[in-house]
Amino acid sequence: MKQPPESNVHLVDHGFMEARAKLLDIAAFLDRLERHDQADDYRVRAFFEGLNLLDEPGADRAAKVLLALSDPSEEPIAEAHTKGAAGAFSPEVET
Amino acid sequence: MVSRTTDDYQRMALAGCVAINEPAFWAGYDRSNEQGFYDYFSLLTGFEPQRAATFGIKHFSWMCINPKEAEDVGLADAVLALIPEFLQKPTVLGIGEIGLNKNSRNELVVLEKHIQLAADHDQLILVHTPHLEDKLKGTRLIVDALKNHSAIRPERVIIDHVEEHTVRVVKDAGMWAGMTLYPESKLTANRAIDIIEMYGTENIWMNSACDWGISDPLAVPKAALEMRRRGHSETQVHKVFYENPAAFMGQCPKFVL
């Protein structure tokens, strides 16, 4: 059962400044990569795919971005050679 | 909390935490043999409950070989053989955190062995799902493995580290959903509260990441504060942060607050 809050909070007042700061951090991150000629990376390409999803309506942007960054395969891999995860998927890159 | 200082126990007590739920996990390095696990399990069931008790906090733990060390099936078998002794300890609630890390074949084999161990000893199960790009695939593989075992009752399983794209998979399977909170790298308090608003307060909890990365033992009380700031009632907050964990873990008679 969905569980809305009992009192209405103005969510723009509540969260805008924090989200604004994060937006500027993203902009500066991408500027930084471009200045240092490091934007040609599968993770950055996946990042832009995620950014493009933010302009779509539907109140399910977070799930869509997560899906875009996920390994779409279904079978177990043969062997794990690392422990970490990279945050984006590429069939050519073992993370 | 093996990775934490005693100061963190003090801070958690000051913030109102009454119990800690610590799953067996990775030590920051791969242990060379099963004796390392025996010593670790002894610490989880001996020293840590004593350390927590000095601050009035109950400490409970879960036994397993963590998925990060599950690629070596031979070592896993040796560790699995140690676990029944520790399941008899008064503060051990079940098998966990089992699951997958990189979604490999051997990890899946070891997961299935843990599920069988839980079935053989009628234990609760606490599951870790992979992070980031591996999470969706891993969550599906884990849920399938659990559903494939006829002795596993879904209401006695909690699948942790759910996010927006995996919570439905877990809830539809009839299992509990856990949301581990991180200060920066993964699920935040505000996103966890969004998930509560979308999927309700039934069979779901939040927990603080307390691992080797940047994490915050006070993430749970901070999320409770944020839930109040977003207009949720004290009744809803109490259900998510106290009643739900107590209901799930209370399925084990050793869980007494």
In this prediction the ipTM stands at 0.95
B19-23 and B58-63 beta bridge pairing: parallel
Asked if A95's CB is within 8 angstroms of B103's CB, the reply is no
Beta strands in B107-255 (DSSP E): 124-128, 157-159, 176-181, 204-208
CATH match of B6-249 with 3.20.20.140: yes
Read off the pLDDT of each residue in B55-68 and give the average, rounded to a whole number. 97
Average pLDDT of chain B?
97
- Is A95 a residue whose pLDDT tops 80? no
Confidence of residue A4 (pLDDT cuts 50, 70, 90): confident
Q: d(Cα B144, Cα B138) in Å, to the nearest integer?
A: 10
Confidence of residue A1 (pLDDT cuts 50, 70, 90): low
Confidence of residue B2 (pLDDT cuts 50, 70, 90): confident
- Could you give the C-alpha distances from A51 to A26, A47, A77, B105, B209, in angstroms and in order? 10, 6, 29, 33, 27
Asked if A4's CB is within 8 angstroms of B197's CB, the reply is yes
Which residues does residue B126 pair with via DSSP β-bridges, in sequence order? B158
pLDDT digits (tens, 9 = 90+) for A12-57: 999 999 999 999 999 999 999 999 999 999 999 999 999 999 999 9
What tokens were used for A51? 């950014």
pLDDT at B213: 87
For chain B, say whether A93 makes contact (Cβ under 8 Å). no
- Is A2 a residue whose pLDDT tops 80? no
For chain A, say whether B213 makes contact (Cβ under 8 Å). no
State the best of B72, B100, B137, B187 to mutate against chain A, taking most chain A CBs within 10 Å: B137
What tokens were used for B183? 């200060």
- Is B184 a residue whose pLDDT tops 90? no
- Which of A2, A5, A86 has its CB closest to that of B198? A2
pLDDT digits (tens, 9 = 90+) for A46-92: 999 999 999 999 999 999 999 999 999 999 999 999 999 999 999 88
Enumerate residues 6+ apart whose C-beta is below 8 A from B147. Answer: B154, B173
pLDDT at B204: 98
Asked if B163's CB is within 8 angstroms of A66's CB, the reply is yes
pLDDT at B212: 86
Read off the pLDDT of each residue in B121-130 and give the average, rounded to a whole number. 98
Task: Give residue limits of the domains in chain A.
Answer: 13-68
Q: Is B126 left (phi over 0), alpha (psi -120 to 50) or beta?
A: beta
Q: Chain A window 46-65: which residues touch B at a Cβ cutoff of 8 Å?
A: 60, 62-63
**pLDDT above 70 as % of chain B:** 100
- Is A3 a residue whose pLDDT tops 90? no
Task: Give residue limits of the domains in chain B.
Answer: 6-249
Maximum alpha-carbon separation in chain B: 52
pLDDT at B185: 85
Q: C-alpha angle B74/B75/B79, rounded to 5°?
A: 120
Separation in Å, CA of B119 to nearest CA in chain A: 23
